Amino acid sequence: MRVYVLNGPNLGRLGTRQVDVYGVTSYADLVNLCVDTGRELGLDVVVRQTDAEHELLGWLHEAADEEAAVVLNPAAWSHYSIAVRDACAMLRGPLVEVHISNIHAREEFRHHSVVSAVATGVICGLGVDGYRLALHHLAARRDAGA
């Protein structure tokens, strides 16, 4: 099972950006966590990060064409990008939206995600462990034939 783990703007700065909110795990460590977890679960995990919205849209289209599963942290695009939401709506595989911080406990403008309505599920506030949990969920869906 192919799983794209896609990350939006500023997530490449993990480990140095607002460590009180996002923790000290570096982006490289997050990539390793996802790839290693995927390997343990028999998933073909591809991890990508971009600060360019058009690039994320292209990756979502690629996942849709392949009927691949997606773990997506749309970051700031969660709150306003109808283009990202519409690309997610085209996915034919499951979509798990992940946020490292609890967006509901932060600034008011972060409380709503336009992506959540088209996601299979949402994980937020569990730090980078949310990615691991999302991959376990997708493996369980695969194993159940869902």
Beta strands in 92-145 (DSSP E): 95-99, 121-124
- Residue carrying structure tokens 């977890």: 37
Residue 103, marked binder:
no
Residue 110, marked binder:
yes
Helix or strand holding residue 140 (H, E): helix 129-143
Residue 86, marked binder:
yes
CB-CB contact of 40 with 82 (8 Å): no
99 belongs to the catalytic site: yes
Can you tell me the distance from the alpha carbon of 44 to that of 117, in angstroms, rounded to the nearest whole number?
A: 26
Residue 73, marked binder:
yes
27 belongs to the catalytic site: no
Which of the residues 4, 27, 99, 131 is marked catalytic? 99
Closest by alpha carbon to 127, among 46, 10, 42, 33?
33
Return binding residues.
Answer: 73, 79, 86, 100-101, 110
Catalytic residues: 22, 99
Give the residue ranges of the annotated binding site for substrate: 73, 79, 86, 100-101, 110
